[in-house]
Structure 1
Amino acid sequence: MNTAHQIKRGVSFYSYQEEYFLRKMSLEDCVREAAAIGAFGVEIIPEQSITGYPNPGEDFYRQWNGWMEKYGTTTVATDLFIDTKRYPGRTMTTEEAAESVRRDLDIAKRLGARHVRAIINTPPEVMEACASYAEALDLKLLLEVHAPFHYEHPWILRHLEVMHRLQSPALGFMPDMGTFVERFPRVMSERALRDGARPHLVELAVETYNNHGDVHGLMDTFNYMGANPVELGVARIATFMTAQDPRSMLEHMPYIHHIQAKFYEMTDEGVEYSIPYEKIIPVLIEGGYDGYLSSEYEGNRHIQDIYEVDSVDQVRRQHLMFERLLGEDRTIDVAAAAAAGGSNV
């Protein structure tokens, strides 16, 4: 595999949400841990992680900048949400939504970020209304491409029309690698079994998905078979996930500036169980991608009923995989990093 590239490694602090919520990790711990594994590009969700959001105060920004300098990290991206149903009985107007986005763009600028993730439900009209504002701040406002959406989906095509028409350097994509799920995540199917799903229905959903069968008929099929709510949830998951070809990114690479490297389970063998990074990373290299792979661990919610979640270990494993696939010479010694204070977990 060609390993000549400029791809860099980072972490979305969404990955550490379990430990952060339980106060096992502080925000500084998240920064420290990312640096310890060589993931120097950090991605933060202000609404989730910043006390006092959207107005944390000058002391917070000074502290944040101090951490970036102390640990040698860079704020690469922030994630914004947009609650279009905030007001009872009506949807936000375009201008109200745009004002919400501009507020988050201001926060991103103060944090030193380069990219801002616009959640998938952000209307194209809002992206258009905010493009010039993002340009003025020298930020890129990037639409999340998240399952079950893909580059041929009508919603994404509407956004592409805006991007092509405006030709604004501020607009682009932030693909979520959860659009390339080749195998039904076993952390999800095993959780369903523990929650009361019958094995034959779980097996049907998993086999249908893995064999690229008619997942859209599963909900009706499960209804006819007297499925319980947990089983219907498994069928719903199968319709929500997608197994797109990673090469679908190549046509749109000029608009792709940041990657959310979704993963559900890093195995003892050093691979992601469901998402074929061994196919994804060569595509990114071929396309000349030079941004960050930002870890986004989402397996926590599916195992927390039976195991103590160790997001730190899972993220470390993913970065060992990244090092191998990216052809990096240096190998992280996880035990040494922990001994050196990489995390307090």
Structure 2
Amino acid sequence: MSNVKLGATLFCYGTEYARFEYDFEECVKKAALAGAQGYEIVATQMIPSYPNVSDEFLGKVHALKEKYGIGPVSYAANNDKGMRNDRNLTDDEMLADAIIDLKSANKLGCKVMRVQYMMSPEAFERLAPYAELFDVHCGIEIHNPETPNSPNMQRYLEVIKRTGSKYLGFVPDFGFLSVQPNKPQWMKALKAGVKEEHLQLAAKLRRDGVSQEECIQQVMAAGASPAIMPAIAGMFGFVQFHDEKDLPELLQELRDILPYSFECHGKFHYLDEACHEASIPYNEIIPVLIEEGFDRYLICEYEDELYCGGTEFTKRQMIMEKKLLGIK
């Protein structure tokens, strides 16, 4: 049996939360019922006093831990360099914001903080002593369309190796291992009147490595509905996918950075009733975690492109992960 710990980001229930169907407590409760041993909190989404953590909110977190048996293990920071309308934030300003996030993560008892790559490698390097001071491990999120070997991520790896800090590392998001088109976007395109053959053509062109512009030209020349555009944008953007023949190389990239990874994000977009994720090959990914002895948190993370809520899909994701990990 694997030593991987299972968690869930409360972002899984973001749709229900935004619709006022769930409050913070209900999100924690649903994560516990799904089988999470701990949860990630997206700070800007669910901390009323963000960027600080009030004593009142901290008390609620402790009370819910007593009630449901799980508490926050990961703090998802939003490193937003576009907060001003006249210029991007400087490295000094990004660092200052991240230090406040570290303080809040520490107060909540989180040992991991997700950092986004809008924070430059230079600022990330300067974060190390503060991470050590607050005893919070800072992981740059490797999110589609980035992969561990992409030039941008390699710059962070250089920082991690050069500093030797045990508090700087990665949080790989398994979306970068997608090998099929995003099913929710595909479903929405079909509902909007796009023909299956035109979606298949777009997917083939994406696999063939053509540019997004050329893909659009060829698909539109074939008579596709303009409603296909969001699906094409996804294929070339944050939910892009790789050819299955490239999967072994991508899995090796994952192996290479696991020793520097403080947690993993188990991204999912759509699971059928058999608990099979439509585009991310978990039957290939989970064995890598087991073989490499990964013993930290695998955080379920649902992206609700269908706006249907994450409750049922999060349950299915947990069932699938437990089966693959050999957890009863």
Aligned equivalents of 2:39, 2:81: Cα separation in 1: 27
Mapped contact 1:257–1:289 kept (Cα < 8 A) = no
Q: Deviations over 1:158-213 (max 9, x none)?
A: 1111111001111000000101111112211121233354544322123444xx32
Distance 1:90 1:176 in 2: 29
Could you say which residue in structure 1 is the equivalent of 2:214? 220
Instruction: Please report how far the alpha carbon of residue 286 of structure 1 lies from its aligned counterpart in structure 2 after TM superposition.
Output: 1.0
Partners of 1:54 and 1:218 in 2: how far apart?
38
Deviation by residue 1:47-78 (Cα, 9 ceiling, x = unmatched): 01111212352111111122123222131101
Label 1:313 to 1:221 Cα distance change in 2 as closer, same or farther (>3 A). Answer: closer
Deviation at 1:38, TM superposition (A): 2.3
Contact 2:80–2:118 (8 Å) recurs in 1:
no
Q: Partner of 1:156 in structure 2?
A: 153
Aligned to 1:259: 264
Q: Does 1:117 align with 2:122?
A: no
Alignment of 1:15-34 (within 5 A): 15-34=12-31
Whether the 8 Å CA contact 2:137–2:166 is kept in 1: the answer is: yes
C-alpha displacement at 1:275, in angstroms? 0.7
Separation in 2, partners of 1:274, 1:53: 34
User: 1:1-345 alignment to 2 at 5 Å?
Assistant: 3=1, 5-209=2-206, 212-214=207-209, 216-223=210-217, 225=220, 230-240=227-237, 241-243=240-242, 244=247, 245-298=250-303, 300-301=304-305, 303-304=306-307, 309-329=308-328
Q: How much identity, in percent, do the aligned residues show?
A: 31
Do 1:75 and 1:114's aligned partners in 2 also have CA atoms closer than 8 Å?
A: no
* Of 320-329 and 32-41, the range deviating more from structure 2: 32-41
- What TM-score, normalized to structure 1? 0.87
Shift of 1:146: 0.4
Q: Secondary structure at the match of 1:174?
A: strand
Task: Name the CA shift for 1:230/1:97 in 2 (closer, same or farther; >3 Å).
Answer: farther
Q: Measure how far apart 1:235 and its partner are.
A: 2.1
Aligned counterpart, 1:335: none
Aligned residues of 1:197 and 1:231 also touching (Cα < 8 A): yes
Give the secondary-structure state (helix, strand or coil) at the position aligned to 1:294: strand
Listed as ranges, the gaps of 5+ residues in structure 2 are none
For residues 217 and 310 of structure 1, the distance between their equivalents in structure 2, rounded to whole angstroms, comes to 33
Residues 205 and 215, structure 2, Cα contact 8 Å, conserved in 1: no
Q: Residue 268 of structure 1: CA displacement?
A: 1.2
Whether the 8 Å CA contact 2:172–2:264 is kept in 1: the answer is yes
Moved more, 34-43 or 52-61: 52-61
Is the 1:189–1:206 Cα contact (8 Å) retained in structure 2?
Answer: no
The one-letter code of the counterpart of 2:274 is E
Structure 2 Cα separation of the partners of residues 223 and 83 of structure 1: 34
Residue 273 of structure 1 aligns with an amino acid whose one-letter code is: A
Partner Cα separation in structure 2 for residue 109 and residue 180 of structure 1: 31
Equivalenced residues, count: 317
Q: CA deviation at 1:36?
A: 1.8
Preserved CA contact (<8 Å) 1:205 1:218? no
My pick for the range that moved more, 37-46 or 172-181, is: 37-46
Shift of 1:266: 0.9
* Counterparts in 2 of 1:120 and 1:195: CA distance versus 1, 3 Å: farther
RMSD: 1.8
**Distance in 1, Cα, partners of 2:169 & 2:227:** 37
Q: Secondary structure at the match of 2:32?
A: helix
Check the 8 A contact 2:73/2:112 in 1, yes or no.
yes
- Larger mean Cα displacement after TM superposition, 194-203 or 126-135: 194-203
Number of the residue aligned with 1:340: none
The worse-fitting range, judged by mean Cα deviation, of 191-200 and 270-279 is 191-200
Q: Aligned AA for 1:288? A: G
Gaps of 5+ in 1: 330-345
Partners of 1:310 and 1:17 in 2: CA distance: 7
Where does structure 1 differ by over 6 angstroms across 4 or more consecutive aligned residues? none
